[in-house]
């Protein structure tokens, strides 16, 4: 379900014509639907409604403070992976008691910041990190609630760059070592082990990898309780896959019906760190056609958005559906590469794609761009980052303005004696 639909050949976001918004704000831009964001969140929240649970929105997926605030207003917590994300979550009004902090390179300053704000827990990724958190907590006279991020060695059958729970992966602590880490944590005065965490990957299209890892985690939870640890939370991470083109993605209820019986057995409050499933289909990238170009072997459609705006095609070989914002009757289909202006051969939004023929000035929508879209954008080639627009019914809000050339050099300095 999402709120990007065609009516009489024109693409709408909720009740607004995308072409009208493009006229006002110029291209390229990201466009989000408030209703899609909140209904995706609700669908997940309700699917797991039979068990005690907390949905933590994965801030890295789409970090705009308006989006995080929208999630907080729905009751979501936040999954953060840096001090900057913690700051965003707090600015957006997320209850600190609903914030979990993962990431394998937390600095001392970040740990101190999170402790001071009283977050729900740290997801600890190494024994040295465990020691540092204990040190900071003891020094500041507090106790840090923690979960160990276990690496269950599970193949999530996704792109290697987004598989995070294999034994070759840099993330988490091997299941076989986790027990020992918990015993250390139990003895240290600055640590309070209250949960178990995993995050096995992203864009997972099947509940089996979760089922397999949950069996392992449930056993660990039991052993920890035997040792007298009060394990109250099982955090299954994120990774629920979505439809980009023709994948079949399970609905939240399908994941829930497979997982809830297993989760029930843990006797814990379940935390989910959901990003893509909430944000992915809640956003599109709108771009204008600049040129049609005939190469020796290929036809290129050169557009004004590029890999610096949406890096997923270049980075993950990701396929995003692309379609004209205003459909033209009888336009023939042509096989093209949709490319941007950046000086890299890897700069493409689609390759060998059948698209209706387009002309300079036509608008194209790149769908399913709400997750890992703007959040991964950069200023490469000194391109200004594009605006983000949030639609709610008949209203459109600029939730991030287009950058200017002045923004590009903000903070830079030319030494006087240069
Ligand atoms: C990226 C990430 C998520 C979110 O993953 P999705 O696939 O977008 O749901 C959740 N937890 C952690 C620790 C992550 O790094």
293 falls in which pLDDT band (50, 70, 90)? very high
pLDDT for 110: 98
Which structure tokens are listed for 372? 């890992």
**Which residues does 176 contact at the CB level (< 8 Å), separation at least 6?**
none
Residue 44 Ramachandran class (φ > 0 left, ψ -120 to 50 alpha, else beta)? alpha
220 occurs within a structural domain: yes
pLDDT for 161: 80
* Residue 23, CA distances (Å) to 90, 302, 309, 315 in order: 34, 20, 19, 30
Which structure tokens are listed for 373? 């879209």
Interval 306-359: pLDDT, tens: 999 999 999 999 999 999 999 999 999 999 999 999 999 999 999 999 999 999
Q: Are residues 107 and 230 in the same domain?
A: yes
Average pLDDT on 215-221 reads 93
User: Cβ(350)–Cβ(381) under 8 Å?
Assistant: no
Average pLDDT on 253-271 reads 95
Residue 397: CATH number of its domain? 2.40.37.10
Average pLDDT on 190-213 reads 96
* Catalytic residue status for 343: yes
Which structure tokens are listed for 107? 């600095």
1 falls in which pLDDT band (50, 70, 90)? confident
Evaluate: CB of 85 within 6 angstroms of ligand 1. no
> CA–CA separation, 10 vs 364, rounded Å?
11
Q: Are residues 144 and 285 in the same domain?
A: no
122 occurs within a structural domain: yes
Among 165-174, 267-276, 370-379, where is mean pLDDT lowest?
A: 165-174
Strand order in 16-17's β-sheet?
A: 4-7, 10-13, 16-17
Residue-range definition of the domain harbouring residue 14: 4-32+281-409
Q: Are residues 267 and 285 in the same domain?
A: no
Q: Are residues 181 and 293 in the same domain?
A: no
86 falls in which pLDDT band (50, 70, 90)? very high
- What is the end-to-end Cα distance of the chain in Å, rounded? 57
Q: Classify residue 128 as exposed, middle or buried by CB count within 10 Å of its CB (0-12, 13-18, 19+).
A: exposed
46 occurs within a structural domain: no
Q: Which atom of ligand 1 is nearest to the CA of 274?
A: 9
By DSSP bridging, strand 233-235 and strand 363-366 are unpaired
Evaluate: CB of 58 within 6 angstroms of ligand 1. yes
Which structure tokens are listed for 182? 């918990």
SS3 label, residue 392: strand
Interval 347-376: pLDDT, tens: 999 999 999 999 999 999 999 999 999 999
Quote the ligand 1 centre to 134 CA distance (angstroms): 25
| Boundary residue ending a domain (274, 303, 323) | 274
pLDDT for 299: 98
Q: Which atom of ligand 1 is nearest to the CA of 372?
A: 8
pLDDT for 303: 98
What total number of domains does the chain contain? 2
Quote the ligand 1 centre to 81 CA distance (angstroms): 9
Share of the chain above pLDDT 90, in %: 95
Q: Which atom of ligand 1 is nearest to the CA of 239?
A: 7
User: Cβ(12)–Cβ(4) under 8 Å?
Assistant: yes
Residue 135: CATH number of its domain? 3.20.20.10
Q: Which of 37, 58, 170, 247 to mutate to test the pocket of ligand 1 (most atoms within 8 A of CB)?
A: 58
Evaluate: CB of 124 within 6 angstroms of ligand 1. no
Q: Are residues 164 and 197 in the same domain?
A: yes
**Which residues does 417 contact at the CB level (< 8 Å), separation at least 6?**
none
Average pLDDT on 192-197 reads 98
pLDDT for 168: 87
19 occurs within a structural domain: yes
By DSSP bridging, strand 77-80 and strand 99-101 are parallel
pLDDT for 271: 98
12 occurs within a structural domain: yes
Q: Are residues 164 and 308 in the same domain?
A: no
> CA–CA separation, 96 vs 223, rounded Å?
29
| Boundary residue ending a domain (274, 308, 336) | 274
> CA–CA separation, 393 vs 151, rounded Å?
43
38 occurs within a structural domain: no
Q: Are residues 314 and 257 in the same domain?
A: no
Q: What is the dihedral of CA 291, 294, 295, 299, to 10 degrees?
A: 80
pLDDT for 162: 79
Evaluate: CB of 238 within 6 angstroms of ligand 1. yes
The DSSP symbol for 111 reads H
CA angle, corner 172, sides to 171 and 173, nearest 5?
135
> CA–CA separation, 348 vs 341, rounded Å?
9
By DSSP bridging, strand 363-366 and strand 322-324 are antiparallel
Evaluate: CB of 237 within 6 angstroms of ligand 1. yes
The H or E element containing residue 369 is none
| Boundary residue ending a domain (231, 251, 274) | 274
Q: Which of 172, 273, 369, 372 to mutate to test the pocket of ligand 1 (most atoms within 8 A of CB)?
A: 273
The H or E element containing residue 169 is none
22 occurs within a structural domain: yes
Quote the ligand 1 centre to 274 CA distance (angstroms): 6
Evaluate: CB of 314 within 6 angstroms of ligand 1. no
Q: Are residues 232 and 167 in the same domain?
A: yes
Looking at the DSSP bridge assignments, the partners of residue 323 are 365
Q: Are residues 304 and 253 in the same domain?
A: no
Quote the ligand 1 centre to 251 CA distance (angstroms): 17
Residue 93 Ramachandran class (φ > 0 left, ψ -120 to 50 alpha, else beta)? left
pLDDT for 10: 98
Q: Are residues 14 and 154 in the same domain?
A: no
pLDDT for 164: 83
Evaluate: CB of 78 within 6 angstroms of ligand 1. no
387 occurs within a structural domain: yes
196 falls in which pLDDT band (50, 70, 90)? very high
Q: Are residues 252 and 125 in the same domain?
A: yes
Q: Are residues 122 and 233 in the same domain?
A: yes
């Amino acid at each position: 379900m999402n709120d990007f639909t065609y009516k009489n050949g024109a693409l709408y976001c909720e009740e607004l014509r995308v072409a009208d918004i493009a006229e006002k704000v110029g291209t390229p831009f990201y466009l989000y639907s408030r209703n899609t964001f909140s209904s995706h969140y609700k669908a997940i929240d309700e699917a797991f409604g039979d068990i005690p649970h907390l949905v933590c929105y994965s801030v890295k997926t789409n970090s705009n403070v308006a989006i995080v605030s929208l999630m907080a207003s729905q009751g979501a917590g936040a999954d953060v992976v840096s001090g900057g994300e913690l700051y965003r979550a707090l600015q957006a009004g997320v209850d600190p008691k609903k914030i979990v902090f993962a990431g394998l390179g937390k600095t001392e300053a970040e740990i101190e910041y999170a402790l001071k704000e009283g977050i729900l827990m740290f997801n600890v990724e190494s024994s040295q990190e465990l020691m540092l958190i204990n040190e900071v907590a003891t020094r500041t006279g507090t106790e840090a609630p923690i979960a160990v991020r276990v690496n269950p060695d599970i193949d999530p059958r996704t792109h290697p760059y987004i598989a995070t729970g294999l034994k070759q992966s840099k993330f988490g602590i091997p299941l076989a070592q986790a027990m020992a880490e918990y015993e250390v944590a139990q003895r240290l005065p600055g640590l309070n082990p209250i949960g178990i965490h995993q995050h096995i990957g992203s864009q997972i299209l099947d509940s089996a990898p979760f089922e397999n890892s949950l069996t392992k985690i449930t056993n660990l939870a039991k052993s920890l309780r035997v040792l007298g640890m009060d394990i109250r939370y099982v955090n299954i991470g994120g990774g629920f896959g979505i439809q980009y083109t023709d994948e079949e993605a399970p609905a939240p209820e399908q994941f829930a019906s497979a997982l809830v019986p297993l989760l029930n057995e843990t006797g814990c409050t379940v935390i989910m760190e959901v990003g893509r499933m909430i944000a992915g289909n809640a956003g599109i990238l709108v771009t204008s056609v600049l040129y049609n170009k005939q190469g020796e072997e290929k036809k290129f459609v050169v557009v004004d958005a590029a890999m610096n705006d949406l890096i997923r095609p270049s980075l993950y070989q990701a396929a995003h559906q692309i379609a004209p914002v205003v459909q033209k009757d009888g336009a023939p289909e042509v096989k093209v590469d949709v490319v941007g202006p950046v000086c890299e051969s890897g700069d493409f939004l689609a390759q060998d794609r059948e698209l209706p023929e387009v002309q300079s000035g036509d608008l194209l929508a790149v769908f399913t761009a709400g997750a890992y879209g703007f959040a991964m954008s950069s200023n490469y080639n000194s391109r200004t980052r594009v605006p983000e627009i949030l639609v709610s019914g008949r209203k459109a809000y600029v939730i991030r303005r287009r950058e200017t050339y002045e923004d590009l050099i903000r903070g830079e300095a030319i030494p006087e004696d240069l």
